[in-house]
Structure 1
């Protein structure tokens, strides 16, 4: 998901996307452990996607004027 697309999502949808990406990363790890993973470059793509989504989520928290 591109950053501009993620910024258009509301907070609930953004949290859902983060959950889906984390689930995909978990599945990739299981596939890697059982030697079923074909595309190891997908690890980096999913990790970067999670980082982008978390960054956008944090930007929103800071723009509301509050720390955690």
Structure 2
């Protein structure tokens, strides 16, 4: 997911997407520990997308609080 996609999403959509990604990240960690993970690059993609979502939420909170 690109940053432009994240910026166009509503607050509720961002929260839902964040929960979904956290669950997927949790499952991938278990797969990695067991040795069943197929796409190791997906861990990195999820981690970065989570960071993008949290950044967007922080920016919205900051502008909402001061603006």
TM over 0.5: yes
Inter-partner Cα distance in structure 2 for 1:41 and 1:50: 15
Q: Alignment RMSD, CA only?
A: 1.0
Gaps of 5+ in 1: none
2:56: which partner in 1?
56
Deviations 1:4-63 (A, max 9, x none): 111111111110011111111001001111111011121111100000000000000000
Higher helix proportion: 2
2:25: which partner in 1?
25
2:35: which partner in 1?
35
Gaps of 5+ in 2: none
TM-score (norm 2): 0.91
TM-score (norm 1): 0.90
Query: Which stretches of structure 1, 4 residues or longer, exceed 3 Å deviation after superposition?
Result: none
